[in-house]
């Protein structure tokens, strides 16, 4: 009998796998914090003999090289991938023995990257699981535009062919276990469900339901902005990432926090957006530890700029560190735990801003002599589905660089649910703007009395 354990990285929207038999196992697309994979192997009582990568990842720093070094496992990487470290090159059709009657077969599935390779777990020669990486996802496919703009259409066509190859060569009851698709921006769409099989994908996946020209046209039309930090992930993975250091950062007192802010460094408050709005260090930014901190902080911070983390507890700080090393933000410059009163100098006080709902915004617009600025920080695709009449649109990931485009006056900022509005409100507040964070679901905007338009 075989097993497959899933290691889910919810913040990045990815899944990683450990699969094996009674004695040995293979790790697929492991995260950078490899202790999770080692712990999973220990629970199973197996030895990791192989580590495999489906591709050189663009959305996170891999733990594959370090996991192979620590465990002594063979490190398998697609042969066509350009890397600067020793590895076992894998080509289409290669078979790797994992345990008794258990093997992994490599299938070339270009599209997400030119060298992308899926791995099929076979028991007694029968396919049982397909680790599809960024190729065939649940109801969708990986995006083809992360390597080189001139290759995008070519890779989109290759992605269509790869999906059809998997569907043609594997039995319908083969489980489909992708790495991307659970919120990752590497996916061209959101996963349709939590699990799937080849048979199910034949009925629901757009790559298998459309002819290649229609598929490519729709896929390319639906692509949105690529997180800025992706530009640094591929090179880091190709060079061979350094081991992680999750030890506690040096402690910053109130004076050091003020000095770092004055120097233009980023001071990031990890508390939830409600607590931040009620009181925070002037000039600090709010990226909730419970949100997609790795994605949005890495997307927005100038790459390499020192960051100081402020947390309620040591555990909140440690969790954030773990999230950030996965995207290459390796060591905070400093950190502090406690409350805002601990982080401001004597004689200074925390600052705050208002929170509101869409009903409050509707009331404000109906009575204000000078209507406030309504700032929508959602993505383009979200705004196309409906927007508040008269609102200004700047996606949150672009706001830091475009903050001068926000019209003068009090700013009421909203997103789809509140998290990104909290980030945006903190940026505006730090820039000296009077801001109100709309902490509400956009699906309630029309019922609140606001005029919601749809893109023509």
Tokens of 13: 């929207």
CA of 115: how far to CAs of 155, 159, 381, 389, in Å? 10, 11, 30, 46
Q: What is the pLDDT of residue 353?
A: 98
Phi and psi torsions of 232, nearest 5°: -100, -15
CA of 34: how far to CAs of 23, 27, 99, 451, in Å? 20, 10, 22, 49
Q: What is the pLDDT of residue 187?
A: 74
Tokens of 35: 């202790």
Q: What is the pLDDT of residue 96?
A: 96
Picking from 113, 375, 377, 379, the residue whose alpha carbon sits closest to that of residue 226 is: 379
Q: What is the pLDDT of residue 194?
A: 79
- Which residues sit opposite 307 in a β-bridge? 266
Q: What is the pLDDT of residue 456?
A: 63
CB–CB of 410/253 below 8 Å?
Answer: no
Query: What is the model's pTM?
Result: 0.93
- Cα angle value 433/300/311 (rounded, 5°): 80
Picking from 31, 27, 24, 39, the residue whose alpha carbon sits closest to that of residue 8 is: 31
Q: Can you list the residues of the chain whose pLDDT is less than 50?
A: none
CB–CB of 420/333 below 8 Å?
Answer: no
Q: What is the pLDDT of residue 181?
A: 84
């Amino acid at each position: 009998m075989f097993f497959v354990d899933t290691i889910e990285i919810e913040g990045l929207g990815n899944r990683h796998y450990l699969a094996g038999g009674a004695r040995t196992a293979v790790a697929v697309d492991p995260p950078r914090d490899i202790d999770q994979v080692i712990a999973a192997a220990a629970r199973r009582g197996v030895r990791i003999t192989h580590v495999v990568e489906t591709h050189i990842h663009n959305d996170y720093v891999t733990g594959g090289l370090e996991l192979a070094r620590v465990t002594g496992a063979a490190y398998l990487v697609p042969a066509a991938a350009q890397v600067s470290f020793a590895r076992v090159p894998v080509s289409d059709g290669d078979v790797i023995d994992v345990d008794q009657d258990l093997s992994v077969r490599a299938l070339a599935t270009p599209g997400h990257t030119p060298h992308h390779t899926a791995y099929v777990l076979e028991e007694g020669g029968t396919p049982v699981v397909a680790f599809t990486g960024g190729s065939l996802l649940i109801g969708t496919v990986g995006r083809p535009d992360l390597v080189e703009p001139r290759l995008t259409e070519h890779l989109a066509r290759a992605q269509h062919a790869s999906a059809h190859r998997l569907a043609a060569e594997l039995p319908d009851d083969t489980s489909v276990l992708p790495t991307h698709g659970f919120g990752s921006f590497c996916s061209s769409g959101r996963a349709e469900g939590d699990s799937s099989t080849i048979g199910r994908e034949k009925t629901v996946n757009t790559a298998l339901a459309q002819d290649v020209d229609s598929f490519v046209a729709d896929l390319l039309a639906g692509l949105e902005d690529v997180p800025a930090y992706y530009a640094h992930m591929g090179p880091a993975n190709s060079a061979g990432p350094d081991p992680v250091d999750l030890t506690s950062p040096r402690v910053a007192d109130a004076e050091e926090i003020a000095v770092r802010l004055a120097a233009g460094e980023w001071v990031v408050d990890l508390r939830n957006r409600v607590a931040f709005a009620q009181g925070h260090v002037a000039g600090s930014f709010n990226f909730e530890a419970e949100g997609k901190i790795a994605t949005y902080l890495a997307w927005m911070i100038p790459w390499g700029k020192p960051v100081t983390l402020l947390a309620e507890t040591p555990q909140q700080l440690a969790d954030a560190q773990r999230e950030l090393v996965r995207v290459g933000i390796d060591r905070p410059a400093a950190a502090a735990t406690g409350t805002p009163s601990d982080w401001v100098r004597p004689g200074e006080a925390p600052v705050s801003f208002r929170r509101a709902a869409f009903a409050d915004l509707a009331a404000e617009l109906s009575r204000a002599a000078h209507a406030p600025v309504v700032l929508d920080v959602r993505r383009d695709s979200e705004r196309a589905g409906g927007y508040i009449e008269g609102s200004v649109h700047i996606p949150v990931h672009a706001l830091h660089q475009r903050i001068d485009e926000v019209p003068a006056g009090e700013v009421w900022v909203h997103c789809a649910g509140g998290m990104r509005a909290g980030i945006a409100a903190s940026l505006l507040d730090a820039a000296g703007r009077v801001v109100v964070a709309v902490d509400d679901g956009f699906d309630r905007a029309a019922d609140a009395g606001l005029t919601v338009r749809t893109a023509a």
